[in-house]
Amino acid sequence: MADTFEFTGLDETILRGVEALGFTSPTPVQAQAIPLVLDGRDVVASAQTGTGKTAAFALPALQRIAREGYGRRAEAKGEHGPFALVVTPTRELAQQIEDVVEVVCGVTGQSSVVVVGGAKYEPQIKAIKRGCDMLVATPGRLIDLMERKAVRLDQVEVLVLDEADRMLDMGFWPSVRRILHAVPKGRQTLLFSATIPPAIKSTVDTMLTDPAYVEIARIGETASTVEERLCPVTQGQKTQLLEALVGRCHPERVLVFCRTKHRVDEVSETLRRAGLKTQVMHSDRPQKARERALEQFREGKAQVLVATDVMSRGIDVEGIDAVVNFDVPLDPEDYVHRIGRTGRAGATGQAFTFVAPDEISPLREIEYFTGKLIPTWDLEGFDYDATRIVPNAHRGTKKPTRTMFSGSRSRGRGPAGGRYGRHA
């Protein structure tokens, strides 16, 4: 495995871009994927969030499409671009990719354009017409532009499907298939994701040609840099516990995930009334409001950011001290992506999961999916409701009993209850 970017095969110009990004040593996914992409291979890569997947495909893709030294090919030759296309599920992810690509293009002389929903069409169409080397797009907006005949994909040489599993979950797979039919058959295809679910594996052969596989982490594996904690509590005490947690532990940045947009608004308003500087992110918020919320959170002007799962892969902020699962996610993969927002790039982080009596079933699924039990944790001095249900005491029973916490959980066999015996 390459210890430095020089050994990945990147040329001097791209390496100057790497230096401009402030990168020193490649992460495992970068070290394994970059040489394969440079060799022209189709690649399927899976790695946890926060492991540097963006650079793993963006750096070699920009090198692969370089023309006439570097920079866009002359319009006199009728070459307009894009020559590389990155498709990603959310606006926030698209902007994060563009942030990386823009820095490298500033060094190489190449150009990039980002097109996402929620923004005006005309500026995006004008930018595409000027020509670009790399286009970063969300599926819905790209399809819209294709239908308006505002973008040509016949010169795409490298196609990247980023966060492919999330695009599948969000219902974008039909749009992805339309995009696949619009790009040249001889393109190089790179599929990057945190997990590669069976639904995607079954179609890999139709999308890619003899792909090389890069698997950094098994499905369900959580980052070792994140300390996971389970907080048994009643639904009515969740907001009080969150206020107490932030007030007593004094984290600089806390990311709170809720299951619904209404819940996000409700929790954020309660936190604001408690005097906490809070911002909100969910799909009903205007794009400018979402960008402002993320920027204030990034700059430390907001201590708490409350968001829905649609944001669980679209929030890339350094220095998130803690993630709070205010609601237990129904999809175990969402749990992995949520807590992956902290403990990134080698830093340590904490993840708190508030579990109420009616959330025991999805908690079981999460622990079965990740292959481990989340340690229980009590906030010292917090006045817990005496009737709260504690998972340790009732795993394996059909009807949980109300009890105060004591003891530890034991392992068993399966997700439906056999794996969770009563504590000794």
Domain end among 183, 215, 247: 215
Q: Are residues 203 and 233 part of one domain?
A: no
pLDDT per position as a tens digit, 136-188: 999 999 999 999 999 999 999 999 999 888 888 778 889 999 999 999 999 99
Q: Which residues pair with 346 in a beta bridge?
A: none
Residue 93 lies in a domain: yes
Residue 117 lies in a domain: yes
Looking from the CA of 2 toward its CB, the CA atoms found within 13 Å total 20
Chain mean position to CA 42: 22
| Selected residue with higher pLDDT from 42 and 340 | 42
Which of the listed ranges 47-51, 76-80, 277-281 does the model predict with the highest average pLDDT? 277-281
Q: Are residues 379 and 236 part of one domain?
A: yes
Residue 221 lies in a domain: no
The Cα angle at residue 273 between residues 272 and 277, in degrees rounded to 5: 25
Q: Are residues 39 and 184 part of one domain?
A: yes
Q: Are residues 120 and 232 part of one domain?
A: no
Residue with tokens 């795409």: 156
Average pLDDT over residues 390-405: 42
Domain that holds residue 116: 5-215
| 5: pLDDT strictly greater than 70 | yes
pLDDT at 400: 35
| 392: pLDDT strictly greater than 60 | no
| 240: pLDDT strictly greater than 60 | yes
pLDDT at 312: 60
Q: Are residues 206 and 239 part of one domain?
A: no
Residue 10 lies in a domain: yes
pLDDT per position as a tens digit, 349-381: 899 999 999 999 999 999 988 889 999 999 988
Average pLDDT over residues 101-114: 96
Average pLDDT over residues 204-232: 84
Q: Are residues 357 and 286 part of one domain?
A: yes
pLDDT at 47: 81
Q: Are residues 261 and 181 part of one domain?
A: no
| 415: pLDDT strictly greater than 60 | no
| 287: pLDDT strictly greater than 80 | no
> What are the tokens at 300?
């430390």
pLDDT at 78: 52
| 396: pLDDT strictly greater than 50 | no
pLDDT at 404: 31
Residue with tokens 């709070």: 324
pLDDT at 113: 96
Q: Are residues 234 and 211 part of one domain?
A: no
Residue 220 lies in a domain: no
Longest dimension (CA), the chain: 78
Residue 149 lies in a domain: yes
pLDDT at 313: 62
d(CA 92, CA 147): 23
d(CA 57, CA 212): 14
d(CA 418, CA 335): 22
Q: Are residues 76 and 29 part of one domain?
A: yes
Residue 170 lies in a domain: yes
pLDDT at 165: 81
| 395: pLDDT strictly greater than 50 | no
Domain end among 174, 193, 215: 215
pLDDT per position as a tens digit, 65-91: 996 545 544 444 456 789 999 999 988
Residue 333 lies in a domain: yes
d(CA 31, CA 372): 29
User: Coil, strand, or helix at residue 297?
Assistant: helix
Q: Are residues 141 and 122 part of one domain?
A: yes
d(CA 179, CA 141): 11
Average pLDDT over residues 318-334: 90
Q: Are residues 193 and 55 part of one domain?
A: yes
Helix (H) or strand (E) holding 295: helix 287-298
Q: How far is CA 257 from CA 13, 264, 283, 345, in A?
A: 40, 8, 13, 21
| Selected residue with higher pLDDT from 334 and 63 | 63
Contact of 72 with 78, CB cutoff 8 Å: no
Structural domain count of the chain: 2
pLDDT at 346: 65
Domain end among 215, 238, 258: 215
| 200: pLDDT strictly greater than 80 | no
Q: Are residues 232 and 192 part of one domain?
A: no
Average pLDDT over residues 105-111: 95
The CATH number of whichever domain residue 181 belongs to comes to 3.40.50.300
User: Over pLDDT 90: what percentage of the chain?
Assistant: 54
